[in-house]
C-alpha cells in the first residue's frame, strides 16, 4: 500500500477548531497594539517605559504594559505549538511521516519572515518562529509529559536570562560631549559606537525611517534586525520555545475538546487571578522610574513569567466562552485568525504606510496614546478586509501561497 498524497490532507474548514481561530484573531489585535511603538519610534524609545510623557500618554503606556505587552505573543506561541502538534498527528496518522512536510513548511515561513524583516520591518517574528518550528520537528517526538517539563524549564531559563540582561543597564555607555546630529547612515552608526541608545544613532534612525532614502532605512532595519535576533535567541526565545512546547502538550491532552473544558476553566481562573494583578503591579512599578538595576531586572524576570500566566488565563477564558457560544465578536476575530499570516503582514504594511518615508512620514511624530488609537484603527481595517475576503475566498492569499508550496501543489478544494 502507498501513503495518500500529502496534498489530500488539507483540512476541511468545517474541521477547524473555532476557539483557535478566535484566539489567533484576538492575539493579532494585541500584537499590533504592542508593535505600534516599534513601528513608529526609534527602537530604544519603544522599549523605554520611563520616558517623559503627558498624562494621556502615561495612561496609554500603562494600558499597553499591563494588558498587552508579552501576553498576546505568548498566546500566539502556545497556538503555534498546538498547531504543530495537530499537523504532526494528522500527518503521521495518514502517511506515517511528518518531518519532511514540517521542515518544508517552516522553511517557507522563514522566507516570509526574512522578506518581512528586510523589506518592511525589523520586528518580524515569523523568522524566529520558523527556527523554533524546525526545533520542534525533533522535540515533538518526545513524550507528552517530557515536553511539558521541558517547556516549563525553558520558561525558567527565559526568566534567568531576562534578569541577567537587565543587569547590563549597570554598564553605562560613554557619553558623547557634543553629538553630531547631522550624520546619517553608516557614518552615524560608527559615530555612535553602534549603540542604538546613542542620540546620534536615534536621530539618524528617525530620519532614515521617516525621510529615507531606502538605502539608509534598509541599513538600519537590517542592523536592528540582527541585534534583535541575537537578543531573541539569548533571552525571549526561551520564552517562546517554552510556550510552544506547552502548546504541543495542550494538543495532546485535548484542551479544546469537550474533555478539556475543565482545564480551560482552571486556566481562566488561576491564570487571570495570578497573572493580572502581578502585571498591573509591575506596570505601575515600571512607570514609577524608581527601580534600580537589580530591582528592575527582577521586575523584568517576573514580567516574563506573569505575562505567560496571564496569557494562559486569556486562552482559558476565550476557550470557555467559545465553547459556550458567548464569545463577543467571535465571527470577526475568527476571520482574522483564519488569515493570520496575511493579517500579520497587512498590519505591518498599513502601519508602516502611516509612519514611513514612502507613506505619511509620521515616524517619531506620534505619541503613545495616538499610537494606541492608531493600532485599534489599523486592526479594524485589517479585520474588515479579512471578513470581506473570506466571503469570496476559502483562505487568505498568503495562506494559499504557503499551503501550495508546503503541499507541493495547489491545495484540493474543500468538499
Report the pLDDT value the prediction gives residue 345, as an integer from 0 to 100.
Answer: 97
Q: Quickly count helices (H) and strands (E) in the chain.
A: 17, 0
HEC sequence for 63-129:
HHHHHCCCHHHHHHHHHHHHHHHHHHHHHHHHHCCCHHHHHHHHHHHHHHHHHHHHHCCCCCCHHHH
Distance from the Cα of residue 46 to its chain's centroid: 15
- How high does pLDDT run on average in the chain? 89
What b-and-e string marks burial along 261-280, b requiring 16 or more CB atoms within 10 Å of the CB? Answer: bebbeebbeebbebbbebbb
Q: How far is the C-alpha of 66 from the C-alpha of 280, rounded, in Å? A: 5
pLDDT, tens digit, for every residue of 239-248?
Answer: 999 999 999 9
Instruction: Decide if 354 contacts 382 (C-beta within 8 A).
Output: no
Preceding peptide of 213 cis, ω within 30° = yes
The whole-model pTM stands at 0.91
Report the pLDDT value the prediction gives residue 8, as an integer from 0 to 100.
Answer: 31
Cell of 178: 557634543
DSSP state of 412: P
Report the pLDDT value the prediction gives residue 172, as an integer from 0 to 100.
Answer: 59
pLDDT, tens digit, for every residue of 96-116?
Answer: 888 889 999 999 999 999 999
Task: From 370, 49, 180, 200, select the one nearest 208 (Cα to Cα).
Answer: 200
Q: How far is the C-alpha of 209 from the C-alpha of 190, rounded, in Å? A: 18
pLDDT category at 175 given cuts 50, 70, 90 is: low
Q: What 3-state DSSP class applies to 320? A: helix
Mean pLDDT of 344-361: 96
Q: What are the boundaries of each domain within the chain? A: 6-168+181-406
Task: From 1, 168, 194, select the one nearest 96 (Cα to Cα).
Answer: 1
Task: From 321, 308, 304, 316, select the one nearest 269 (Cα to Cα).
Answer: 316
pLDDT, tens digit, for every residue of 255-309?
Answer: 999 999 999 999 999 999 999 999 999 998 888 766 677 888 899 999 999 999 9
Q: How far is the C-alpha of 393 from the C-alpha of 363, rounded, in Å? A: 35
Is the pLDDT at 236 greater than 70, yes or no?
A: yes
Q: How far is the C-alpha of 349 from the C-alpha of 382, rounded, in Å? A: 10
Is the pLDDT at 360 greater than 80, yes or no?
A: yes
Task: From 354, 414, 340, select the one nearest 383 (Cα to Cα).
Answer: 340
Mean pLDDT of 333-358: 96
% of the chain residues with pLDDT over 70? 91
DSSP assignments along 134-186, one per residue? HHHHHHTTS-HHHHHHHHHHHHHHHHHHHHHHHGGGGSPPPPPSS--TT--HH
Mean pLDDT of 344-365: 96
Is the pLDDT at 64 greater than 90, yes or no?
A: yes
Is the pLDDT at 119 greater than 80, yes or no?
A: yes
Is the pLDDT at 11 greater than 50, yes or no?
A: no
Is the pLDDT at 392 greater than 90, yes or no?
A: yes
Q: How far is the C-alpha of 64 from the C-alpha of 29, rounded, in Å? A: 12
DSSP state of 196: T
Is the pLDDT at 14 greater than 70, yes or no?
A: no
Report the pLDDT value the prediction gives residue 53, as an integer from 0 to 100.
Answer: 74
Q: How far is the C-alpha of 76 from the C-alpha of 341, rounded, in Å? A: 12
pLDDT, tens digit, for every residue of 319-338?
Answer: 999 999 999 999 999 999 99
Name the maximum alpha-carbon separation found in the chain: 76
Is the pLDDT at 51 greater than 60, yes or no?
A: no
Report the pLDDT value the prediction gives residue 97, as an integer from 0 to 100.
Answer: 83
Q: How far is the C-alpha of 119 from the C-alpha of 114, rounded, in Å? A: 8
For cell 501561497, name the residue.
401
Is the pLDDT at 354 greater than 90, yes or no?
A: yes
Q: How far is the C-alpha of 323 from the C-alpha of 223, rounded, in Å? A: 45
pLDDT category at 173 given cuts 50, 70, 90 is: low
pLDDT, tens digit, for every residue of 197-214?
Answer: 889 999 999 999 999 999
Is the pLDDT at 133 greater than 50, yes or no?
A: yes
Amino acid at each position: 500500500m502507498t501513503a495518500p498524497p500529502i496534498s489530500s490532507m488539507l483540512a476541511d474548514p468545517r474541521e477547524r477548531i473555532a476557539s483557535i481561530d478566535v484566539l489567533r484573531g484576538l492575539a493579532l489585535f494585541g500584537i499590533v497594539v504592542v508593535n505600534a511603538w516599534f513601528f513608529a519610534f526609534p527602537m530604544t524609545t519603544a522599549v523605554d517605559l520611563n520616558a517623559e510623557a503627558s498624562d494621556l500618554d502615561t495612561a496609554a503606556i500603562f494600558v499597553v504594559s499591563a494588558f498587552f505587552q508579552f501576553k498576546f505573543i505568548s498566546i500566539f506561541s502556545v497556538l503555534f505549538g498546538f498547531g504543530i502538534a495537530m499537523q504532526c498527528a494528522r500527518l503521521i496518522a495518514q502517511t506515517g511521516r511528518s518531518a519532511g512536510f514540517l521542515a518544508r513548511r517552516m522553511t517557507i515561513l522563514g522566507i516570509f519572515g526574512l522578506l518581512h524583516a528586510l523589506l518592511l520591518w525589523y520586528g518580524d517574528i515569523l523568522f524566529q518562529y520558523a527556527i523554533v518550528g524546525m526545533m520542534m520537528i525533533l522535540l515533538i517526538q518526545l513524550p507528552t509529559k517530557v515536553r511539558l517539563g521541558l517547556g516549563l524549564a525553558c520558561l525558567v531559563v527565559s526568566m534567568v536570562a531576562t534578569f541577567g540582561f537587565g543587569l547590563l543597564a549597570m554598564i553605562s555607555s560613554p557619553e558623547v560631549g557634543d553629538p553630531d546630529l547631522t550624520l546619517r547612515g553608516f557614518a552615524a552608526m560608527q559615530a555612535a559606537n553602534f549603540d542604538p541608545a546613542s542620540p546620534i544613532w536615534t536621530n539618524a534612525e528617525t530620519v532614515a525611517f521617516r525621510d529615507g532614502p531606502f538605502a539608509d532605512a534598509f541599513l538600519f532595519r537590517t542592523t536592528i534586525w540582527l541585534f534583535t535576533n541575537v537578543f531573541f535567541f539569548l533571552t525571549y526565545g526561551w520564552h517562546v520555545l517554552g510556550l510552544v512546547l506547552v502548546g504541543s502538550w495542550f494538543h495532546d491532552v485535548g484542551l479544546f475538546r469537550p474533555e478539556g473544558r475543565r482545564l480551560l476553566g482552571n486556566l481562566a481562573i488561576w491564570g487571570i487571578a495570578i497573572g493580572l494583578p502581578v502585571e498591573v503591579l509591575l506596570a505601575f512599578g515600571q512607570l514609577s522610574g524608581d527601580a534600580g538595576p537589580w530591582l528592575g531586572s527582577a521586575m523584568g524576570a517576573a514580567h516574563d513569567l506573569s505575562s505567560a500566566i496571564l496569557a494562559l488565563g486569556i486562552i482559558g477564558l476565550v476557550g470557555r466562552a467559545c465553547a459556550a457560544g458567548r464569545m463577543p465578536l467571535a465571527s470577526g476575530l475568527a476571520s482574522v485568525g483564519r488569515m493570520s499570516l496575511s493579517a500579520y503582514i497587512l498590519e505591518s504594511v498599513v502601519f508602516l504606510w502611516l509612519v514611513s518615508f514612502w507613506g505619511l512620514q509620521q515616524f517619531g511624530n506620534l505619541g503613545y496614546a495616538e499610537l494606541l488609537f492608531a493600532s485599534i484603527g489599523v486592526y479594524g481595517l485589517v479585520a474588515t478586509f479579512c471578513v470581506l475576503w473570506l466571503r469570496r475566498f476559502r483562505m487568505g492569499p498568503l495562506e494559499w501561497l504557503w499551503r501550495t508550496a508546503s503541499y507541493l501543489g495547489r491545495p484540493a478544494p474543500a468538499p
